[in-house]
Structure 1
Amino acid sequence: MEYDLAQCEKEGGYLAEVGTAAENQWLFQTFVAATFSEEDCPKYYSCAIWIGGNDLKQEGHFVWSHNNNTIPLTNGLWLTGRPNDFKKEQDCLAITHSSGLWNDLSCSTERPFICEFEF
């Protein structure tokens, strides 16, 4: 995910930060659902797009990488039982294809990503 962050910054932006459920739904419909087909995604976690959240500095405390604001774990945007830090290696936040909800996944996995720009 460091590459993705660097790519966004190179273009003058940052990995997307989601403020509301409506914004998350728009990102899901515009980017996630449009990127993957059902055939691409045999498992619910196999297709997801990076956004800018992580808990790299403190396990279980997710923050946005650009503004460092805390991401609530009770905002209704997480998959049930997530974040779970499976195998102690899931520290980055992605929007899943299966539902548009969030999952914590391994930061080292290459995935598409959404950059945000201020105008």
Structure 2
Amino acid sequence: MSHCLMTDGCCFISYTVTTSECVRHRKWKGYKSGISSSFWNPLTEDGCPCGWYKFQTSCFLIPDVQLSWHDSKEYCQKLDAKLAELDTEPKDVFVVDLIKKGTEKRTWIGGSDIDKEGSWTWSTSGSLLNITHQNWAKDQPNNQPVDSDCLCIGTWYRYRWDDNTCTYTGAFVCEKTVRNRPQYIKSHALSESKALG
């Protein structure tokens, strides 16, 4: 792997075991994991991976792919991240500003009441949504259509929270903790059916 070095302008590298081939990439957009065995990306000066946005102690990414809530959660986990947990108003405002830069109508974040109807928790930490912050749209959550168990931010509610059917596809926000430099992050390969954004 000595020939597989990061260089200026390189956002991350992918490596394929079967061919012993490394490819340097300048951006996440358009990258498909295909048969890549793994990939690495460097931390920027602010402690976030290239292409991620820092806010306080977290890094955020909105991949360029639309998935169901469950597939979005899995996708973030493969990036050593989680679906975003917007547990404070400043974090919520920051993420909404990121979402507004795109055109998606539905953007998944990490809350659900899958385990118990009406008991909304953040999927990774297990914390209740209403403990420190909540931003529900008027008359939400309402479990309509039936089995709306996953949390999204909807443009139809002026970027406020809505419960929605988990199988619908949409954009999503991944979150990970800021890390100290210098460090390279090795992540698990993504399945070939899911593209990195």
Range of TM-score over shorter length: 0.7 to 0.9
User: Which residue of structure 2 aligns with residue 43 of structure 1?
Assistant: none
Structure 2 residue 170 is the aligned partner of structure 1 residue 103: no
User: Which residue of structure 1 aligns with residue 150 of structure 2?
Assistant: 92
1:87 Cα deviation after fit: 3.3
1:88 Cα deviation after fit: 2.1
**Aligned pairs (5 A) from 1:1-119:** 1-30=69-98, 32-36=99-103, 47-72=105-130, 75=133, 77-98=135-156, 99-119=158-178
Distance in 2 between residues matched to 1:84 and 1:74, nearest whole Å? 21
Segment drifting more, 11-20 vs 64-73: 64-73
Distance in 2 between residues matched to 1:33 and 1:74, nearest whole Å? 24
Q: Percent identity?
A: 27
1:2 Cα deviation after fit: 1.2
Bigger radius of gyration: 2
1 or 2, which has the higher helix percentage?
1
- Give the TM-score of the pair, scaled to structure 2: 0.52
Contact persistence 1:95–1:102 (CA under 8 A):
yes
Distance in 2 between residues matched to 1:100 and 1:87, nearest whole Å? 19
Q: Count how many residue pairs are aligned between Structure 1 and Structure 2.
A: 109
Contact persistence 1:83–1:104 (CA under 8 A):
yes
1:93 Cα deviation after fit: 0.3
Task: Kindly provide the CA deviation profile for residues 47-106 of structure 1, in whole angstroms up to 9, marking residues without a partner as x.
Answer: 120000000010010000010000119955100000000132200001122412100000
Segment drifting more, 54-63 vs 91-100: 91-100
Cα distance change, pair 117–18 in 1 and its aligned pair in 2 (3 A): same
1 or 2, which has the higher strand percentage?
2
- Give the TM-score of the pair, scaled to structure 1: 0.84
Contact persistence 2:150–2:166 (CA under 8 A):
yes
Paired AA for residue 102 in structure 2: T
Give the gaps of 5 or more residues in structure 2: 1-68, 179-197
Give the gaps of 5 or more residues in structure 1: 41-46
